[in-house]
Amino acid sequence: MKHTFFFLLLLAVTTGRAQNNTVNLIPQPVQVQPLSGSYTLKNGAAIAYNKPDAKAVADLLAQRLSTPTGYSIKAQSGKTGAIQLRLTDTPDNQLGKEGYTLESSPKGVIITANQPAGLFYGAQTLMQLLPAAIEGQTVTKANWTLPAVRITDYPRFGWRGIMLDVSRHFFTKDEVKRYIDQLAKLKYNTFHWHLTDDNGWRIEIKSLPKLTEVGAWRVARAGHFGERADPKPGEPTTYGGFYTHDDIREIVRFAQERNVTIIPEIDVPGHSMAALAAYPELGTTKNPNTSVNPGTRFSEWYGNGTFKMLVENTLNPADEKVYEFLDKVFTEVAMLFPNQYIHVGGDECYKGYWAQDPGCQALMKKLNIRHVEDLQGYFMNRVEGILKTKGKRLLGWDEILEGGISPDATVMSWRGIKGGIEAAHMGHDVVMTPTTFAYLDYQQGEASVEPPLYAGLRMKKSYSFDPVPDGVDPKYILGGQGNLWTEQIPTLRYAEYMTYPRAWALSEVYWSPKEVKNWENFAQRVEKHFERADAANVSYSRALYDAIVKTSVKGDKLVLQLESEMPGLDIYYSIDDTMPDNQSPKYAQPIELPEGPITLRVITYRDNKPIGHLITLKRDDLRRRAGRE
């Protein structure tokens, strides 16, 4: 069996690097074997399923095929159909719960799996084998042909997630469904829903109506997050929104149909300003003027990762009413979300207000603890106890390790991979989601071209991620996740732009065997998926076509280095105040820049046509980059 597995990996690597142009799948399957011929989808084709559990997948596939083709494609029970969905009678251990085989020939397509999840993922692969126009929502005339191929596929990790923050900016029910639908096509199976924070409480809690009457709304503000004006007394709170219980049930059902589990996050004890705006008595200062934050500068961050809150945003760990409040919240959250986890945040909890509070000091004395930081461990243990009474497990950001947590708690490692390594060595299950590889809100291209942000993350870096660090037992690494925080993301269209194509890269990180990963081949497949995204009207970044501008200092000279993520691009530049084109100097090796007030202009070409953004940087900009990665 071991020899067979490595043969399949070798074959996958070979076919992954030399696929024909009709097979451009993301994420890359374990094995792709091109065959002779092709299959053309015809009007009236049937999708047959052999067991009732496969009906839902067949119905969804029939709908997706019928919409852009205009064909009448029906799902039907039985074993005769151009497309057949087969659940095994005897499980294939290699495929597991989510794996599948797909074989297409001139006669049709057969997808086989142990469970409906595998059939669903096989159906996503089938869709990717068809022309890009299959992703559209209007009828299109096309040759609906897919190549003959034999595919064996199953995921590397069981947790393949994306997080969407809906607190900083609210996204409607239909927008959330659209976002989930696109993720499911990439074989993501987890949607982490960040529902509460300082900037808005987004989930209806019927027993605590002020959470949405007050906490879901803030004053309208434009401009960069962190630079906006404070709310004025009596100013109307017109921006926001929330999801009712019925909304959530609808979204959960929608996700379940696409094999996606929704993990809700209620971020405590920090990041709770929206909750305190609704119920100020739950803080230590009990400030009745607390408001939902519209994006003001409410904290001071220091270079060593520490910070100070200028406004209280933490729940009071010494107040029993806080735990009564949380019991009500988690009762309703647990009722709405059927999965085993509730994410409770635990990150960036400022404890300065606790240190000044007599009640917290008394609690510390009672617990015989010397450091105020240890109050978070007490708080989290109380929260975990509440969750257990609801039949749920605690999941939190890696700060939850600092106060001591039970062995049942699961850790999301976001501050690099260090917290995940520590948690795994302690026997905790871990989801790897480090800023260094998985933060989708970071700039993905040239800083002078894209809107300003404090950090960058290119797709090639995301693609290089391995969620299992050296020296860690893989059994503790559940998988990984990309995170999209939305301080600077006000619309779904821009959320898509920031998500893709980096989420394509991460989908391959989390699904495909690491042995089949190949950047050059992946970059070529990304271009084909740009066409699919265009057909689906999904926004994405083209930053991989832009030049990467680096500088260093050699003696008293400033040295320029240029490169690109996309292989095979030509890079042209000018330093003489002319607009560069393919007749300008072509970059071939590092360049010592002359002294003086020069301006660098850089553009990429392919096949003698411009393809990337024009990048313009003055000498001072270039000098500041010296020494940067």
Length of the chain: 629
Catalytic residue among 197, 198, 267, 446: 197
Could you tell me if 214 and 277 are in contact, meaning their C-beta atoms sit under 8 angstroms apart? yes
Burial class (CB in 10 A: 0-12, 13-18, 19+), 452: exposed
Q: Which of 169, 192, 271, 428 is catalytic?
A: 271
Query: Active-site residue 271, yes or no?
Result: yes
Which of 59, 257, 347, 348 is an active site residue? Answer: 348
Query: Are the beta carbons of 32 and 15 closer than 8 angstroms?
Result: yes
Tokens found for residue 383: 């929260």
- Tokens read off for 31: 């094995």
d(CA 154, CA 157) in angstroms, rounded, equals 9
Q: Among residues 222, 334, 326, which one has the least CA distance to residue 268? A: 326
Neighbours of 612 (CB within 10 A): 23
Task: Name which of 70, 58, 59 is nearest 109 in CA terms.
Answer: 58
Strands 591-593, 410-413: pairing is: unpaired
Rounded CA gap, 589 and 617, in Å?
A: 19
Determine whether 28 is exposed, middle or buried from the number of CB atoms within 10 Å of its CB (0-12, 13-18, 19+): buried
Amino acid letter, 568: G
Which 3 state secondary structure label does DSSP give 426?
Answer: coil
SS3 per-residue string spanning 127-195: HHHCCHHHHCCCCCCCCCEEEEEEEEECCCCCEEEEEEECCCCCCCHHHHHHHHHHHHHCCCCEEEEEC
| Nearest CA among 45, 53, 56, 18 for reference residue 130 | 45
Sign, CA torsion 189/51/34/67? negative
d(C-alpha 546, C-alpha 559), whole Å: 19
Burial grade of 96 (CB within 10 A; 0-12, 13-18, 19 or more):
middle
Is residue 334 a contact partner of residue 391, using CB atoms and an 8 Å limit? yes
Q: Is 6 helix (H, G, I), strand (E, B) or coil?
A: helix
Please compute, for residue 82, the number of CA atoms within 13 A of its CA located in the half-sphere on the CB side. Answer: 18
User: Collapsing DSSP states into helix, strand and coil, what is residue 440?
Assistant: coil
Residue with tokens 């151009």, as numbered in its chain: 82
348 has catalytic annotation: yes
- Token duo for residue 432: 């790897």
- Tell me the C-alpha distance between 355 and 384, whole Å: 23
- CA triplet 468, 469, 474: central angle to 5 degrees? 40
Q: Estimate to the nearest angstrom the gap between the alpha carbon of 606 and the chain centroid.
A: 30
* Listed residue (246, 164, 237) closest to 203, CA to CA: 246
Among 166, 151, 164, 162, residue whose Cα is nearest residue 188: 162
Beta strand pairing call for 393-397 and 410-413: parallel
CA–CA dist 476, 467 (Å, integer): 11
DSSP state of 247: H
Catalytic residues: 197, 271, 348
